[in-house]
Amino acid sequence: MDIRVFQDNKDLDAAAASLIAELVAAKPNAVLGLATGSTPVGIYRSLVDTAARSGISFKSVSTYNLDEYVGLTPDNEQSYAYYMNQHLFSKIDIPLNRTFLPDGMSGDLEAHCAAYDAMLEQAGVDLQLLGLGHNGHIGFNEPDSQLSAGTHVVTLDEATREANARFFSSIDEVPRQAVTMGVGSILKAHRILLVVRGADKADIVKRALTGPVTTDCPASLLQTHARVTVLLDREAASLLATGGNEGCSTFASAM
Ligand code: F6R
């Protein structure tokens, strides 16, 4: 694993955005796996700026999002479809018909999940962006004795609903279910970019990156992937032995 620690969150955002922009510059029809939540907001802002500055076009890029709540329409401000339009798609030149998210409103969620997996399989994700849940979830793959490989419907942990309640007017409005790519689909991406910020995630970062590989911490399965880049702010990295605190330090994980 290539782990980089940043003093400044703007530098972290810029580093993540450059990795994505460099991929798109080198491969104009790149397939991006995208995430939502608070972690990528600054990354998308930086990516929009980078694209405008350097003239990178997303016309031939396609994107597949990790997850979507069940029961929220794309025009609902809390839906991930709305988030993606707001933070990224409306600000770059990507055709909307090249952007895909699971459809939490599908009348046949099981068939929809299978169709989403078939699309992912055919497209082949070049770079998957991930955030990390406090309980070690990636996408909405919550800790469990078994993890699903493919896209599936998941019942959200109460801890996840509580963590995400900040985006809603009350916890009662947070959906109880979501559709998420499975860990198997995530691990099929050619390259993975995991971004984590904040002292409140220091413990789970340590478990995910240096603890045992276990379905109790879904992110620990990233240790089995050959090409993972992890970008952390100092707080999120505070329980790792980083070997350096100035600027951006790069080090190999202790695994
Ligand atoms: C979002 C997603 C989640 C988040 C995770 C961290 O699409 O799949 O796994 O990445 O819950 O969320 P934030 O960034 O809000 O702390």
Position 242 scores a pLDDT of 63
Interval between CA 132 and ligand 1 midpoint (Å): 6
Interval between CA 88 and ligand 1 midpoint (Å): 16
Mutate to test the pocket of ligand 1, among 36, 80, 128, 181 (most ligand atoms within 8 A of CB): 36
Cβ-in-10-Å burial (0-12, 13-18, 19+) of 158 comes to: exposed
Ligand 1 in contact with 38 (CB < 6 A)? yes
Mutate to test the pocket of ligand 1, among 78, 140, 183 (most ligand atoms within 8 A of CB): 140
Position 248 scores a pLDDT of 59
Nearest atom in ligand 1 to 35's CA:
7
Task: Name the residue with the closest Cα to ligand 1, atom 11.
Answer: 133
Position 246 scores a pLDDT of 42
Active site residues: 67, 135, 137, 142
Strand partners, 250: 4
The CATH fold assigned to 2-231 is Rossmann fold (3.40.50)
Tens-of-pLDDT digits for all 255 residues of the chain? Answer: 999 999 999 999 999 999 999 999 999 999 999 999 999 999 999 999 999 999 999 999 999 999 999 999 999 999 999 999 999 999 999 999 999 999 999 999 999 999 999 999 999 999 999 999 999 999 999 999 999 899 999 999 999 999 999 989 999 999 999 999 999 999 999 999 999 999 999 999 999 999 999 999 999 999 999 999 999 999 999 999 865 444 556 655 433
What pTM was estimated for this model as a whole? Answer: 0.94
